[in-house]
Amino acid sequence: MVRFSEQANYTQPTSAEDDLGRLIRWSLEDFKVEPPVRAWPKILERVREIKAPMKPRRRLRRALVPVASLVQAVVISALLLALGLGVDRNLSMPQSNYQIHPTPTVQKVSVPQGVLEDMLRGYKLARMELEPPAYKRGVCP
Amino acid sequence: MSEDAELVLRICSGDLDAFETLYLKYKRQLYQAALAITGDHGAAEEILQDCFVRAYAAMGKVDTSVSLSPWLHRIVVNLSYNWTNQHRQWPLALDAVMDRLMAGPSASPELIAEGSELREIVREAVAALGFKQRVVIVLFYLQGFSLPEIANILNCPVGTVKSRLHYACKALRKKLSEDRRLIGEVAYGTF
């Protein structure tokens, strides 16, 4: 796209490649005016009322050595080393440093003989009540 | 250290002369941008004042490694946007001062009238554009910013700026080709 220089003294648009651009630029020339002189004192008055700005922020320079990559490399190499050497924490730690939890087991409880017989009798009675009566063929109650 | 960075440091240390230097450096561009976007002298002046007051308040946060121009223009665009939202109607009648400025002393009255009308038609067409397209037109054709610079000011991708400029030009071309006042005078539609 053809661009005009600031100093271009353009009078009328001509039929060229960027004619629309020329026309727009030419039309907007009217806006190239100075702001009123009274603007600055007003700005100054308003600026004096507000607190002075703080010092500009400093842009942090990027470190020459990429720190993130370095940390990643250290962590990965430490893990690989630990796996490679087969470090066993249980062997290196003293026995007193960790607690031993007993494995849960099912314990046998001794039940008296009379109780077992009673339970068996109760079971048989309950079963008899639940089962429907067996009828012989052709005989109805 | 750039001139702007030096000015910013001085302003932050309370030097109001430095702030005036900054004002004198950018006032014209910023005022023109505000005027072209809003089409109102009063609004443009108000926007210019607000822009510099805001800039002063935020001077400590500014990035001194780059020119202040895009940052200041961004403030102007945002303030113009606010103003446009509050005043939906575009003032089509332009000041008589503008016409006097446009007309040279040697120009004939017919030429003055013709040129004045043509400019008005184009300005009306620009004014009829949506805010985003109008801003791109003003920043590109009036302020002479490049597409990446406009993208930086508007905080959007360069592709978006290209697209807005393309559609703005398309809309302007259509509007101007349909304008009855131009038929037989400029024959813009045949371009």
Q: What is the pTM of this model?
A: 0.59
Give chain B positions within 8 Å (CB) of A34: 27-28, 31
pLDDT tens column, A97-117? 556 666 767 666 676 778 888
Which residues of chain A are within 8 Å of residue B97 when distances are taken between CB atoms?
33
Taking alpha carbons only, the member of B30, B117, B111 closest to residue B69 is B30
Distance CA B167, CA B157 (A): 16
Architecture of the domain whose range is B94-191:
Orthogonal Bundle (1.10)
Q: How far apart are CA B112 and CA A95, in angstroms?
A: 104
Confidence of residue A134 (pLDDT cuts 50, 70, 90): low
Q: Which of A54-63, A116-125, B16-25, B173-182 has the lowest mean pLDDT?
A: A54-63
- Hey, what are A72's tokens? 């990643």
- Residue B129, chain A, CB below 8 Å: the answer is no
Token pair for B91: 């003032």
A8 has pLDDT over 60: no
Question: What single DSSP character describes residue B65?
Answer: T
Looking at 3.90.79.10, 3.30.360.10, 1.10.1740.10, 1.10.287.80, the CATH number of the domain B1-90 comes to 1.10.1740.10
Pick from B35, B49, B58: CB nearest A42: B49
Gyration radius of chain A's alpha carbons: 49
Looking at the predicted structure, is the pLDDT value of residue A126 above 50?
A: yes
State ipTM.
0.72
**For the segment B70-111, what is each residue's pLDDT rounded down to a tens digit?**
999 999 999 999 998 887 654 443 344 344 434 444 455 555
In the prediction, which pLDDT does B119 show?
83
For residue A94, pLDDT beyond 70: no
Residue B43: count other Cβ atoms within 10 Å of its Cβ. 20
Banded pLDDT at A76 (limits 50, 70, 90): very high
Q: Looking at this protein, which amino acid is placed at residue A85?
A: L
Residue count of chain B: 191
Listed by start position, the domains of chain A span 8-53
Pair of tokens at residue B65: 């490694």
Taking only residues 4 to 33 of chain A, the set having a beta carbon closer than 8 angstroms to any beta carbon of chain B reads 4, 6, 12, 15, 19-21, 23-33
Nearest to B141 among A25, A42, A43 (CB): A25
How far off is chain B from A82, nearest CA to CA, in Å?
Answer: 47
What SS3 string covers A10-52?
A: CCCCCCCCCHHHHHHHHHHHHHCCCCCCCHHHHHHHHHHHCCC
Domain residue ranges in chain B: 1-90, 94-191
∠ Cα B173 A19 B76 (to 5°): 70
Burial of B80 (0-12, 13-18, 19+ CB in 10 A): buried
**pLDDT single digits (tens) A15-68:** 444 778 888 888 888 888 889 999 999 999 998 888 766 665 555 555 556 778
Model pLDDT, residue B104: 46
Contact A30, B101 (CB under 8 A): yes
